[in-house]
Amino acid sequence: MDPTTSTNPPSLAADLADLAAPVRSCGPEFASAADRLDALIRRLEEGRFHLAVLGQFKRGKSTLLNALLGEAVLPSSVVPLTAIPTRLRAGSDRQVRIAYLDGRPDKVVDVTDATGLATVLARHVTEEANPANRLGVREVEVLHPSPALANGVVLIDTPGIGSTYAHNTATTMAFLAECDAALFLVSADPPITAVEVAFLREVQEHIPRLFFLFNKVDYLTADEAAVATGFLRRVLAEQAGLSSDVAIYPVSARRGLAARENGDAEGWRASGCAEVADRLLRFLAEEKQQVLGASVRQRAAGIAGEVLLALRLALRALAMPIEELEERSAQFDAALAEADQQRRFAKDMLAGEQKRMAELLETHAAALREQYRARLTGVVEAAFAESGSEAAAVEAMAGAVADEFPRELEATAAMLDEELGRRLRVHHENAAQLIGSVRTAAAELFDVPYHVPETEHRFERRSRAWWVRRDFSMSPLIPIPAEVMERAMPRRLRERRVRERLARQAENLVRANVENLRWSMVQDLDAAFRTFTSELDEGLADAVRATQGAIEAAVAARNRHEAESRVLAARRTGEIAVLEAALVRLERE
């Protein structure tokens, strides 16, 4: 029995695909609806949960992942080994996809068993076979049927940090922003090091959820393990600011792997790996998938509702006396003209909002500049007055910049981001209402059922995550010019020159860093409004195309030939039945 077996969740992606295919075959006027359904499927895929295993070299990251997979496929060794991040995600068969740094096409290798997989991986991801990444591999992705990868979990093996191979550390650092959560592996041999604490601090900046695994407990007696985790807990609390009751999961990845290979459920549980698999992987992934799944389901149902409306409109129009059809069609055109008027109005409002947001941003940038100028000047003057040393003053300024600015700039970025989200939400609701009104007008005029789907209240903007997390790295301080010449000057004069120079440095720092923030926000603001405006235009155009298109097609069919209308009516009736059934499946959850 597979100790990690879980019931497979019903596949939302499959339900969506069942919906997208018939929508696409309804005709070219439904292509955009089908595209939107495909985009939702992609979003589900992208929304997979990325969980990295991080830690210093040789802590047992690859071994732990092998244990979770249930077979030894990731190379593990007693020397620093993993050199390329390797993603593991669900697939029905084993396959490796290798992506290259220079953009040449990915290499895809199908393998039949664990040994084949291990061989391909060893050739590409190890420091031994691919020293300093001579093969130019960017990343490796493995498809694998293990249940540990169900629920959209993507597990990531990363190169260990802190080994003599500095490039491995750099590779892992560059990877952090893509992770939703991480398992941070430490072990007893040796106890947590200063390098790991520094790495952990960095990781904390990028990854919102971290879980601590204490590996290789098989080396220790129960008493020793208790002492060792106590020490780890203290270090985490004192040096990484974690709460003193932070959860630490003791595991033996090696024993876990052996247990999986021998089908030993008790050994699997005793290794501690079962708890990691059950509690962490499943819990985290489900949490994320639920939120995403609910939102995707709701949107898909909305799209299906739109398509059904168009089909029903067509069917109704095909059955209506021709004079009545023409009259209602003219009334609908009038409703569309009114909607277009409102669209223009909405765009004017948006342009005004964008201008006000830009002004707000400038006001904040000016205030920040003032605040930092005062703060830095104070720091520099105090340090210089106390020490009389220019170098010490520069040092103090650098300290203030490094400690305070990033946090405060991020806080400002987050605040403005909130504000933008709040303001755009109102416009978003108005736009949804306007687009909905076109469909409602058609439904009422032609007397067919239609419910405007609920709009989601959460207004999503893609830029948010990297806005707030962007690296507000500080501009370097200007090097101090040679002071030799000044040594000969009278003290007063020399001090004045130093003070002036320090003030200039402070001013430059303030400008550079505030400008950094301002510029990135101006860009994001523009992008947010541009996207929003085009979404409004496209959404409205879609609504018009679907409703008016369906009615016009019916009018044309009626005018051509009675037989043609009958064929079209029969086809639409069939399509409605198929879609209604697909919608029921989608909504059964």
Ligand X SMILES: Nc1nc2c(ncn2[C@@H]2O[C@H](COP(=O)(O)OP(=O)(O)OP(=O)(O)O)[C@@H](O)[C@H]2O)c(=O)[nH]1
Contact residues: ligand X, CB under 6 A: 55, 57-63, 76-78, 80-82, 159-160, 215-216, 218-219, 252-254
User: Any contact of residue 82 with Mg ion (CB under 5 A)?
Assistant: yes
Taking the C-alpha atoms of residue 80 and residue 132, their distance in angstroms, rounded to an integer, is 12
570: helix, coil or strand? helix
| Binds 218: which of ligand X, Mg ion, none (CB < 5-8 Å by kind) | ligand X
| Binds 253: which of ligand X, Mg ion, none (CB < 5-8 Å by kind) | ligand X
DSSP H helical ranges for 453-490:
464-469, 484-487
State the minimum distance, in angstroms, from the CB of residue 208 to ligand X. Answer: 23
Owner of token pair 């055109």: 333
State the minimum distance, in angstroms, from the CB of residue 106 to ligand X. Answer: 23
Q: Which is nearer to ligand X, 133 or 215 (CB)?
A: 215
State the minimum distance, in angstroms, from the CB of residue 157 to Mg ion. Answer: 6
Q: Which is nearer to ligand X, 156 or 528 (CB)?
A: 156
| Binds 254: which of ligand X, Mg ion, none (CB < 5-8 Å by kind) | ligand X
State the minimum distance, in angstroms, from the CB of residue 50 to ligand X. Answer: 18
The torsion angles phi and psi of 110, rounded to 5 degrees, stand at -90, 135
| Binds 49: which of ligand X, Mg ion, none (CB < 5-8 Å by kind) | none
User: Any contact of residue 158 with Mg ion (CB under 5 A)?
Assistant: no
| Binds 50: which of Mg ion, ligand X, none (CB < 5-8 Å by kind) | none
Residue pair 393/502 in contact by the 8 Å Cβ criterion: yes
User: Any contact of residue 151 with Mg ion (CB under 5 A)?
Assistant: no
C-alpha torsion angle, residues 524, 529, 532, 537 (rounded to 10)? -140
Bridge partners (DSSP) of residue 153 are 49
Contact partners, residue 188, CB within 8 Å, separation at least 6: 214, 216, 217, 219, 220, 224, 225, 228
Q: Which is nearer to ligand X, 269 or 347 (CB)?
A: 269
User: Any contact of residue 62 with Mg ion (CB under 5 A)?
Assistant: yes
Q: Which is nearer to Mg ion, 128 or 395 (CB)?
A: 128
User: Any contact of residue 56 with Mg ion (CB under 5 A)?
Assistant: no
Q: Which is nearer to ligand X, 270 or 522 (CB)?
A: 270
Q: Name the residue with the smallest CB distance to Mg ion.
A: 82
Q: Which is nearer to ligand X, 123 or 464 (CB)?
A: 123
State the minimum distance, in angstroms, from the CB of residue 91 to ligand X. Answer: 22
Q: Name the residue with the smallest CB distance to ligand X.
A: 160
For residue 145, give both structure tokens. 């049927």
Sketch the per residue contact string, 219 through 248, with Mg ion: x for CB under 5 A, - otherwise: ------------------------------
| Binds 58: which of Mg ion, ligand X, none (CB < 5-8 Å by kind) | ligand X
State the minimum distance, in angstroms, from the CB of residue 68 to ligand X. Answer: 12
Owner of token pair 């040789």: 58
Residue pair 300/578 in contact by the 8 Å Cβ criterion: no
Taking the C-alpha atoms of residue 329 and residue 551, their distance in angstroms, rounded to an integer, is 7
Q: State how beta strands 137-144 and 95-100 pair.
A: antiparallel
CA angle 60, 66, 72 (to 5 degrees): 110
Q: State how beta strands 248-250 and 107-110 pair.
A: unpaired
- Which residues in 479-526 belong to E strands, given as ranges? none
Taking the C-alpha atoms of residue 261 and residue 60, their distance in angstroms, rounded to an integer, is 17
Q: Which is nearer to ligand X, 254 or 501 (CB)?
A: 254
Taking the C-alpha atoms of residue 162 and residue 188, their distance in angstroms, rounded to an integer, is 16
State the minimum distance, in angstroms, from the CB of residue 149 to ligand X. Answer: 18
| Binds 60: which of Mg ion, ligand X, none (CB < 5-8 Å by kind) | ligand X
Peptide bond into 105 cis (omega under 30): no
Residue pair 69/175 in contact by the 8 Å Cβ criterion: no
> How many H helices and E strands in the chain?
17, 9
State the minimum distance, in angstroms, from the CB of residue 51 to ligand X. Answer: 15
Q: Report the sign of the C-alpha dihedral through residues 83, 84, 85, 86, in that order.
A: negative
Q: Which is nearer to Mg ion, 122 or 398 (CB)?
A: 122
Question: Stretches 62-70, 299-307, 330-338, 413-421: which one binds Mg ion (CB under 5 A)?
Answer: 62-70
Interface ranges with Mg ion (CB under 5 A)? 61-62, 81-82
